[in-house]
Chains A and B, each alone.
Chain A
Amino acid sequence: MNDTASEQIPNRSESEIIDWIAVRVANELSIAPGEVDLNQDLTTFGLDSIAVFTLTGDLAEWLDRDLRATLLWEFPTIQLLAQHLVLGNVQECDLNPRSLVSLQTGGDRFPLFCIDGAMRYRALASHLPSDQPVYGLIPEDATDGQWYSFDKIGARARHYANVIRNMQPHGPYHVAGLSFAGVVAFLVAQELRKDGEEVGLLTFFDTFGPGYYILPVSKRLSLHWRAWRQMDTRERAKYLAERARNRLKIQPRDQAKTLEIAQPEKYSPQLSQEEWEDEWQIDNLARRLLPAEKVYFTRMIALLRRRPKSAYYDGPAIIFVAQDEPMGFMEADTSRGWRDFMPKLQTHSVPGTHTSMIQEPRVANVARLLNEKLQEVQSSPQNSSQNS
């Protein structure tokens, strides 16, 4: 597929492509091309899968270019598709079609791009208003086992920034990440700003930042004790089991180890989207990584800390901190250690644990708060530099 795409880049403008598709759709439906809403999902015209598939085939022929059979499922409106085809000329070969999963389409608000996952953000998407598009970005290639290598994290952030810009050419961009993915989201935001684009809102779901540090043993024990006293028998059993598991698990000490645990046990190109998606990998990894304070803090945080403070993010940001996460080993901080590095960070302490906070039923509240913030950001010019 890449060969043809790179050999011959068709010289069609966005409006030519739009016109061509609109006429085709209009013919199919026996209506006037002007009646075809460019921002409506094509399925709302009653086009079935065969019609969509045929349209893709004809479009590929007209453009004299290979297109994926599923392209119109990924870019379901004429506007999005045309935009992708024009912008995608350069980047198509680099982008894995499955990098971007649409969780909610429709509406003309700027999309929310959620980093490192799709399924895990589905509940969140469903609680946001239907005119707020939401996309999940999933790792480009799980086969090389390098997607959680810290050395590659910068490249990964750049890749995501490309995927996002391919979808939405200009800012403001809304980027969000759960847990560790928040760090990646942070780097994506920086990449987008490097491109001269505006970041609308950066969202963290319980992401630990560079200001966090591990407490001395005595303090940790006392925090464990405090948490312990508040638990009932069942919670205590779970707590103990969790700690024991953390202790017994191989702690990734070096790069090689990290790579190993990041590698899916089985991979075949035939895996379904769900299987293929990073779900178990990220969750497993997070489970191991977060208790494995050493890796997270020494490597990731060191990476962030190496950057001068001024290089941090001064745009609008919001963090949701999981109230019920027994984080006995770390200093209590309502901003999870980001406060000093992000002056416009708004913090919310919400019920739930590290992972349950954006799942049912807790997610409704988080979605409501996030939506308020998104609306606030969208209704006011963000960067003072852009006020003039």
Chain B
Amino acid sequence: MIFPDLPENQAHVWRCDLDRISPSEYSVAADEHARAAKFHFERDKNRFLAGRGVLRQLLANYLNVSAEDLKFVVNSHGKPDLPENLQDNSHALRFNISHSQNHALFAFGFDFDIGVDIEFQREDFDAEKISRLANRFFTPNENRALSTLESLEKREAFFRLWTRKEALLKAVGTGVSGGLSRFEISCLSEETPRVLAPRKESKNWTLFDLEVEAEYSGALAVRAENTTEYSVCQFQFIDEPRA
């Protein structure tokens, strides 16, 4: 595989179907196996291991190290990161992963906080259910924006909003447990993806909607330093285990 270069103001997002990966072909650490063992279903265990295996493979390529040498540290909310000693002195590779059912996204960037999210647009999320949830947990403005929409449009907007939000909260480092209403985010199809409130946070973050499989939503959030313009490149990861 020819591996793409990652410029400073760019983010890379890899898509991957985890059910097409055989975890045993990839390097996964003992503690990751231990974590996988906690899953109730074999399917989730395999997806977790496949996710970690692919993550290690991709990180190894970006950092030019071997996949089994990679170690992770986690913050208090469980977001993994690379320890400092694995990083080149001048640049720190940051990453984030997300999966929904069998589809996963792996996001990478140098020197900026990054968060990614993918969600399957569940069919049981009808207009009524979305209204109830939004009313309960989203900000009044988000709730209002969603309430203008009907059926399918509403579902799409809900998942658009959710993935943008979760990607952002993951970039912040807290994940959803940091509070869903901490940021107010645009969700209508004609709006650019961005943070609406708190206003002073708005310019700190760049949000992207991602190209994902049909019936899924995906979003990426990066912390925007200064006025740098960020771009995102998407790739498909195909099972190509180490020799």
**Residues of A that sit less than 8 Å from B by CB:** 29, 37, 40-41, 44-46, 48-50, 53-54, 57, 60-61, 69-70, 73-74, 101, 103, 106, 118-119, 122, 130, 270, 272-274
Contact = CB atoms under 8 A, between A and B. Distances in A.
A129 to B, nearest CB: 12
Given A48-B119, A49-B166, A273-B76, A54 B43 contact: no
A118 B76 CA distance: 8
Contact of B136 (A60, A106, A273): A60
A122 B177 CA distance: 17
Contacts of A54: 129, 133
A79 B237 CA distance: 40
A45 B38 CA distance: 9
B76 A49 contact: no
Contact of A49 (B34, B173, B176): B176
Contacts of A41: 38
B144 interface: no
B122 to A, nearest CB: 7
Interface residues of B, number: 34
Contacts of B174: 272-273
Contacts of B140: none
A272 B38 CA distance: 29
B129 to A, nearest CB: 8
Contacts of B179: 69-70
13 contacts: A45-B44, A46-B39, A46-B40, A49-B176, A50-B122, A53-B137, A57-B137, A69-B179, A69-B180, A118-B76, A119-B76, A122-B76, A274-B173
Contacts of A118: 76
A45 B40 contact: yes
A46 B40 CA distance: 8
A69 B177 CA distance: 8
Main secondary structure of the interface of B (DSSP, over half): helix
Given A53-B137, A57-B136, A274-B173, A70 B180 contact: yes
A57 B100 contact: no
B133 A70 contact: no
A37 B201 CA distance: 41
Contacts of B38: 40-41, 44, 106
Interface string B155-192: 00000001000100000111111111110000000000
A48 B99 CA distance: 9
Interface of B: 34, 38-41, 43-44, 47, 75-77, 100, 119, 122, 129, 132-133, 136-137, 162, 166, 172-182, 198, 201
Contacts of A48: 100, 119
Contact of A270 (B75, B100, B175, B198): B198
A48 B104 CA distance: 13
Contacts of B198: 270
A63 B137 CA distance: 16
Given A44-B44, A122-B76, A272-B173, 15 more contacts: A40-B40, A44-B39, A44-B40, A48-B100, A49-B176, A53-B133, A53-B137, A73-B175, A73-B176, A103-B76, A270-B201, A272-B172, A272-B178, A273-B174, A274-B173
Contacts of A46: 39-41, 43-44, 47
Given A41-B38, A273-B174, A274-B173, A69 B137 contact: yes
Nearest to A67: B136
A37 B39 CA distance: 11
A44 B173 CA distance: 21
Contacts of A119: 76
B163 to A, nearest CB: 9
Nearest to A46: B44
Contacts of B173: 272, 274
A41 B44 CA distance: 14
Contacts of B122: 50
A78 to B, nearest CB: 13
Contact of A57 (B40, B133, B177): B133
Given A57-B132, A122-B76, A270-B201, A74 B177 contact: yes
A70 B177 contact: yes
A53 B132 CA distance: 12
Contacts of A122: 76
Contacts of A101: 76
Nearest to A61: B132
A304 B119 CA distance: 55
Contacts of A130: 34
A53 to B, nearest CB: 7
Contacts of A49: 166, 175-176
Contacts of B166: 49
Contact of B176 (A53, A106, A272, A273): A53
A366 B233 CA distance: 46
A279 to B, nearest CB: 10
Given A50-B119, A53-B176, A272-B178, A45 B41 contact: yes
A274 B210 CA distance: 29
B210 to A, nearest CB: 17
Contacts of A40: 38, 40
Contacts of B175: 49, 73
